[in-house]
Structure 1
Amino acid sequence: MYTPRHFAETDLAGLDALAAHDPFVTLVTVADGVPAVSHLPVLYARDGERIVLRGHWSRANPQWRHGDGPALAIVHGPHAYVSPGWYPDKEAAARVPTWNYAVAHLHGALRVHDDAAATAAVVAALSARHESALGSDWRFEPENPAHTGLLRGIVAFTLEVERFELKFKLNQNHPAANVTAAADVLAASGREADRQIAALMRDRLARRPPGDEP
């Protein structure tokens, strides 16, 4: 991923926040030179720098047949259009439109688990997490034949992350006045992602060392 130094993120707390907010990732594998892409909910876990994703495919999805091997998971964060008209120095610096966003690329070794126990564990954990967030009481019941019979239609996987790239493009290459002005406009937006980007922009600006002005 192309990441200018201004936008490179190293704090894994940023990744934790992205995964907690939106655990629906893009999973990319390559077989015989042809990429395959799936969009999947995952379970994210981190212990220090050890990061693991777990999820499952439909058995009808041919990606699982790629087997064990390298894979890329893309964790998508919020994004927002930024108008040059919001910057105080728009004329003097000849500013142009841009797009602010946060994203993570997780590279690692994919392992396929085509067995009922592993698949049941993933389904149970996924449903418990998302059902509880809705206040719902549905649960996967391993003793229920109607539930366990469905496991034949899916295949579980684990992605052990070996390398991560975090890009938080939030106007860090602009003077503080520009960041503040753009964040103020986005914070007043009716679009949730705009407000989330505004919060990230303000957070990164607050971390800027004194005197470190682009």
Structure 2
Amino acid sequence: MYTPRAFAEDDLAGLDGLLARDPFITLVTSGADGLPFASHLPVLYRRDGERVGLEGHWARPNPQAGHAGPALVIVHGPHHYVSPGWYADKAEAARVPTWNYAAAHLYGSLEAFTGEDDLASLVARLGQRFEPGVGGDWAYDHANPRERAQLRGIVGFRFHAGRIELKFKLNQNHPPANVQGAIDGLRAQPGEAAAEVAALMTSRLSGRRT
């Protein structure tokens, strides 16, 4: 990922925040034809200091299912268009539009698993992670043979990150007055994405002022 120094993030708390916000990743591997192959998957995230891991599963018919070895995980953060009209020096500096965003690329390795107990644990924990967010009460029941039989339709994976790139492109290369102008412009826009980007920008502008 192209990451100018001004936009590079080295605090893994940033990754924690991105995956807490949206634990739905893009998983990229090399296909049998040598071309990239991508799947879009919900995951469980864990971090112990600098050690980062993800767990999830594929549908068994997915050509990527069972892949072992090198992989790229793309974590998607909030993003929004930024108008040059929001900058304090828009006229004298001939400012142009841009797009502010946060994202992470995790490079590492995959291991697949198909054991019933491991898959049952994964499915149960995925339910525990996501059901409360929608006010649901579903829980995996291993004693139910129909639910247990459905485990045969998936292949689990564990991803171990070896290198992590965090990019928070939030106008850090602009003077504070421009950043504040973009924050104000974003706050005036409808939708959660603009508010989320404005909040990230505000936290970094505050750090620059201290």
TM exceeds 0.5?
yes
- 1:25-64 alignment to 2 at 5 Å? 25-32=25-32, 33-64=34-65
Deviations 1:57-82 (A, max 9, x none): 000101014x3100011010000000
Deviations 1:10-46 (A, max 9, x none): 0111100000000000000013422110000000000
- 1:49-198 alignment to 2 at 5 Å? 49-65=50-66, 67-198=67-198
Secondary structure of the residue that 1:208 maps to in structure 2? helix
Secondary structure of the residue that 1:71 maps to in structure 2? strand
What is the deviation of 1:188? 2.4
1:21 aligned residue: 21
Secondary structure of the residue that 1:207 maps to in structure 2? helix
Ranges of 4+ aligned residues in structure 1 off by more than 4 Å: none
Secondary structure of the residue that 2:28 maps to in structure 1? strand
Secondary structure of the residue that 1:78 maps to in structure 2? strand
How many positions carry a matched residue from both structures?
Answer: 209
1:202 aligns with 2:174: no
In structure 2, distance between residues paired with 1:160 and 1:197 = 29
- With normalisation by structure 2, the TM-score equals 0.97
What is the deviation of 1:209? 5.8
1:11 aligned residue: 11
Provide structure 2 residue ranges, at least 5 long, that are not aligned to the other structure.
Answer: none
What is the deviation of 1:202? 0.7
What is the deviation of 1:134? 1.8
In structure 2, distance between residues paired with 1:143 and 1:184 = 55
